[in-house]
Structure formats: C-alpha cells, structure tokens
Structure 1
Amino acid sequence: MPTSLYHVRKTSLGPKRKYRISADDGKGRPGEPLGYAEKQLKMSDELDLFADDRRSQKLATVRESSRGWLAALTGYEVFDDEGRLLGSFGLLPKKSVGRTTWEFEQPGLGRLTGAERSVRTARARRLLTLFDTAGEIAGALVKYHFDFVRDGEPVFSIDKPKVFDDWYRLTVREDAVDRRLLFALAVTMEARQRG
C-alpha cells in the first residue's frame, strides 16, 4: 500500500504559535506548502487551519468538546469552513499514564488509537517537563513517535525525528484519512505534548 508523507513545522513561539504544513519533496524534506495554522495560547483551546499564511481560505477549525465519547477525555472536534464536522480526537488520560495515548475518529474511517511507540521516551519527556514548567525545553530535547492503529494495523503516524527542531513528520498509509483532520491533530498534539 503506498504511503504519503507530510511535514508540520512550528515557526514561532510566544502567545501565538504559527505552523507551516508542507507536502514531502520526495527526499524526506518539506516541499510544496499545503497549509498554515495559528494556535493562540489561551484558556479555551481553538485552532484555525488555513490554505496559506495570507489566511485567505480557512480549511478547518478545531474546538474543545465535551459531547459523546469526548466527554470522558480532553476532546476536540474539527469543522470545515462551512461548519460541517470532519471528525474528532482526544487525549485518553487513563491510558496516558505510561505512554501518552490519543483517540482519533473520522466518519467512514472508524476510531483509531495512537500511542507513543517508546515507553522510555515518554518517561524521559515527562521527567524533563517536571523541571521545565513552560515545557518548551522538554519538547525540544526529546523526540517522539505516535502510531495510530485500527485493529492492530497502522493507519498513520506522527513523529518528531530530531531534537532541537520543531519539525513533525506525518506518514499516512490510507488515502481515506482526511488531511485537514490529520493536520489539525498534528498541530494540537504538538501544542499539548509539552506536558
């Protein structure tokens, strides 16, 4: 089954985080720009995803949710530019004790579970975060890799392959995965994984 690669890079810190989303250039590096995201640091989590940094076309909006199965976890719903639900995802607190674990749901694709591949890396990141309340240093020092699976089969993965580089690689193994929903998940995970 062919795989698709994408890249998400955080381009700014501070009260407004900015992210650039790109296709792969065929050599494992960011290539053609596909999107742009902004994440405000505020009490209510909300994220807007645009086609480019001019913000001329909104692709999706992420909002916190407490409906349905999302009520049992830190959940988010993603809507397209006309307000239609694309899907949802959330952090599973109980399963995240050992390794951070997310749940991802897209209509027609089903519900996927994504956990950190390495228990050792998960523990190291948590340990570093204890000494870094802002979380930025911990996030920079530790790589991570999340595999999202359905019935034991990998559907996509999100990994941070380098230290001191806010670059995230997305590997997609099923064309049915909505890229807007996937990009929204990747940015939200980056914003939350500091803890």
Structure 2
Amino acid sequence: MTASTYHVRKISLGLKRKYRLSADDGAGQPGALVGYAEKQLKAADEIIIYRDEERTEQIAVVRESSAGFVASLTGYEVIDNAGECLGTFGVLPRKSVERTTWQFDQPTVGRLTGTERSLATARVRRLIGLFGDAPGQVINAVIKYHFDFVDERGGVGFSIEKPKVLDDWYRITVHDQSIDDILLLALAITMEARQRG
C-alpha cells in the first residue's frame, strides 16, 4: 500500500494560533495547501479547520468531547460542516505515565493507539515538564519526537513526527488510506496545541 504524506506547520503564536496544512511536495517538504486552522486561547479548547487561508469555507471543528471514553479534559471530537462526527481522539492518562499515549477512533476504521516511539525522549520531556509549563514548552520546541499509531493487529496506520528542532513543523505519514485525512490533520494540530509531543 502506498503511503501518503501531509504537513502541519504552526505559523503564529499569541492569542490566536494559526496552522497551515499542506500535502507533500514529493520531496518530503510541505507543498500544496490543503487547509488552514485557527485555535484561540480560551478555557474550552476549539480548533476550526478551513479550506484555505481566506477562511472561505469551514470544513471541520475540533472540540472537547463529553461522549464515550473521552469524557474528560483529554478527549476531543471532530465534527464536519454537515454536523457529522468524523471521529474522536484523546490522551489515555494511565498509559501515559512513561510515554504519552493517544487513542484514535474513526467509526469506519476502528481504534488505533499512538505511542511515543522513543522512551528516552519521553522521559526527558517529562523531567523538564516537572519544572512548569514554560520549561515544558521550551523542551517541546527543541526535542524531536515520533508517534506511531497502530491497530489492534499491530499494523501501523499512520505516524506523526516532528522532524526538526526549533521548528513547529509536523509530518504525517499515512499507511492506511481509509483513514480520514481531516481527522488526521485535526489530531496533529491538537497534539501540537496541547504540547503533548
């Protein structure tokens, strides 16, 4: 099965974080724009994904979920512009003691579990995070990371990685083409926004 690649790049900080969503250019770099997202810093997490940077069409919204396994501050659902739920994802606190672990559910695909590949990197991030939010954000900026999301049989559905230090650029490699690309991009943005990896 041929893998496809997407890129998420944070392009602003401050009270409104903005993200450019791109397809791969064939050489491992961001290419054609496939979407644009904004997240305002407020009590309730909400990310809006648009078709383009002019915000001509909203295609999905990511919001905190109150349903199922994600009925906590760690859970999110993605709703498309027709009001349908594309899927849910969230951090699994008990499994995240050593390495951050995410659960990803898409109704038409099933459940995938994403775990940080490097235990050493995970331990460093946790150690620095003990000193507060600011040091934690700094360490997330200067350390690379890599999450692999696997199905119940152990097959890798997709991976999310931060290839460079001091660059808010995230690369998504998709091996299972039945996974919804908007749901994947929503997950990558949320992971960055939570500074979870």
TM-score using structure 1 length: 0.96
Deviations 1:16-37 (A, max 9, x none): 1110010000000000011101
Q: Give the Cα–Cα distance (whole angstroms) in 2 for the partners of residues 193 and 154 of structure 1.
A: 23
Q: Give the Cα–Cα distance (whole angstroms) in 1 for the partners of residues 16 and 103 of structure 2.
A: 26
Deviation at 1:72, TM superposition (A): 6.0
Q: Tell me which residue corresponds to 1:192.
A: 194
8 Å contact kept, 1:115–1:146: yes
Deviation at 1:184, TM superposition (A): 0.4
Q: Give the Cα–Cα distance (whole angstroms) in 2 for the partners of residues 120 and 175 of structure 1.
A: 31
Q: Tell me which residue corresponds to 2:110.
A: 110
Q: Tell me which residue corresponds to 1:136.
A: 137
8 Å contact kept, 1:92–1:101: yes
Structure 2 counterparts to residues 17-166 of structure 1, below 5 A: 17-71=17-71, 74-131=74-131, 133-134=133-134, 135-150=136-151, 151-166=153-168
8 Å contact kept, 2:137–2:195: no
Structure 2: segments with no counterpart, 5+ residues: none
Q: Tell me which residue corresponds to 1:173.
A: 175
8 Å contact kept, 2:143–2:165: yes
Deviation at 1:41, TM superposition (A): 1.3
Q: Tell me which residue corresponds to 1:182.
A: 184
| Deviating 4+ runs (over 4 angstroms) | none
Q: Would the alpha carbon gap of residues 166 and 28 (structure 1) be closer, same or farther in structure 2, given more than 3 Å must change?
A: same
How many residues are paired up?
195
Q: Give the Cα–Cα distance (whole angstroms) in 2 for the partners of residues 14 and 122 of structure 1.
A: 26
8 Å contact kept, 2:64–2:73: no
Q: Give the Cα–Cα distance (whole angstroms) in 2 for the partners of residues 116 and 188 of structure 1.
A: 15
Amino acid at match of 2:130: L
SS of the aligned residue for 1:89 comes to strand
Over the aligned positions, Cα root-mean-square deviation in angstroms equals: 1.4
8 Å contact kept, 1:90–1:104: yes
Deviations 1:89-112 (A, max 9, x none): 011000000100000000110011
Q: Give the Cα–Cα distance (whole angstroms) in 2 for the partners of residues 126 and 20 of structure 1.
A: 28
Deviation at 1:42, TM superposition (A): 1.2
Deviation at 1:129, TM superposition (A): 2.6
8 Å contact kept, 1:136–1:194: no
Q: Would the alpha carbon gap of residues 100 and 106 (structure 1) be closer, same or farther in structure 2, given more than 3 Å must change?
A: same
Q: Give the Cα–Cα distance (whole angstroms) in 2 for the partners of residues 194 and 71 of structure 1.
A: 18
Q: Give the Cα–Cα distance (whole angstroms) in 2 for the partners of residues 178 and 140 of structure 1.
A: 28
Q: Give the Cα–Cα distance (whole angstroms) in 1 for the partners of residues 130 and 11 of structure 2.
A: 25
Q: Would the alpha carbon gap of residues 87 and 194 (structure 1) be closer, same or farther in structure 2, given more than 3 Å must change?
A: closer
